[in-house]
Structure 1
Amino acid sequence: MKIISKLVMAGLVALSVAACATRAPMPTVESVDLTKFMGDWYVIANIPTFIEREAYNAIESYELDSDGNIATTFTFNKGSFDGPLRTYNPKGFVKDKTNNSLWGMQFIWPIKADYRIVYLNQDYSQVIIGRKARDYLWLMARTPQISDADYQALVRESERLGYDPELLRKVPQQRLGER
């Protein structure tokens, strides 16, 4: 019986390793101009973390610090457009300074979460932020709404990167001036 359980365990380990080996690494974009990337990004849709599950009006704002790190402000209303305002201030750290597309994001010291710019359109108006583990995802834009065609293109790109589009949650955003 011990031999059978060892064989089953070995088989499960081999399958796990094979599954990991066939998954392509999470790419990042070739280059990010940090100065152009700074500013407000509206979260259009995401595979949310536990704090974002009931987010409305979610906005991620970046500001380049003099030390090269990124001061981040993440705000949203919890539960509804009129819900309580939540604000978080993680710090971003550029890990790969050759292309600026691989960051660490620190909410709590000393943990730096993986944060990858995996898609960025040419005019810096739409971005996809992913993670190596493909567990969370953020589709963001410079405006609170984007066209359905643009949204579908971002969803297709996230699916190409290995994300399940069924897990995406559209984040309710009020139009500017309605807040």
Structure 2
Amino acid sequence: MKSLTILFLVCATLFTGCQSRTSGNSDKQAAENLPPLKTVAHVDLPRYMGDWYVIANIPYFAEEGKVASIERYELRPDGKIENTFIFKKDSFDAKEKEWNAVAEITNTTTNAEWNIQFFWPFKVEYRIIDLAPDYSWAAIGHPSRKYFWVIARARTLDEKTYQGILARAAAQGFNISEVTKVPQPTN
């Protein structure tokens, strides 16, 4: 029940126009004051499916203290995507937990724009804004620029690649000083 309460609070915060940290505007208003996020030209969905380690993010309160975080995507026969967030809280020795959601592609031309739903009727916008040609890493953003994730197929990402991702995110209006690396086990 505690997990359900936390999940509800996360979704309520993300989907009801939570207050901006600096301007007092809602996420939607903040996004309206910025140019549209540029997504990648195309995402090969079957290739994108699978496990992605969360390398870094602009954490919102529900992600704080999460370690060994993994995003898992599985394409369903109906074209939607099962999204499972797997994590441990505060320690690699903690019990593994998971949150489940369903993603729907909102731009089938690029496959780079999704809405993720943790429970009805709340959805969050998910935009693939950067993607390695070999699908070894990706960057995900929210149009408000308040939420951002770097994910990779491996638990680590070389510093040059990571800094390049951050530079491209900054060029799209993300405050990269808020990006925090997510601890991943080394073995």
TM-score (norm 1): 0.84
Q: Work out the percentage of aligned pairs sharing the same amino acid.
A: 41
Is residue 122 of structure 2 the alignment partner of residue 139 of structure 1? no
RMSD, aligned α-carbons: 1.4
Is residue 49 of structure 2 the alignment partner of residue 41 of structure 1? no
CA deviations 1:18-56 (Å, max 9, x no partner) are x97762111111101000000010000001122111110
Structure 1 or 2, whichever has the larger Rg, is: 1
Match for 1:101: what amino acid? Answer: A
Q: What SS class does the counterpart of residue 124 from structure 1 fall into? A: coil
Match of 1:71 in 2: 82
Match of 1:162 in 2: 173
Quick one: distance in 2 between partners of 1:40 and 1:83? 20
Q: Which runs of 5+ in 1 are unaligned?
A: 1-18
Task: Evaluate the alpha carbon distance shift between residue 68 and residue 21 of structure 1 in structure 2; reply closer, same or farther with a 3 A threshold.
Answer: closer
Deviation, structure 1 residue 142: 0.4
TM-score (norm 2): 0.81
Deviation, structure 1 residue 83: 2.2
Q: What SS class does the counterpart of residue 90 from structure 1 fall into? A: strand
Q: Which runs of 5+ in 2 are unaligned?
A: 1-29
- Number of residue equivalences: 158
Deviation, structure 1 residue 160: 1.2
Is residue 182 of structure 2 the alignment partner of residue 148 of structure 1? no
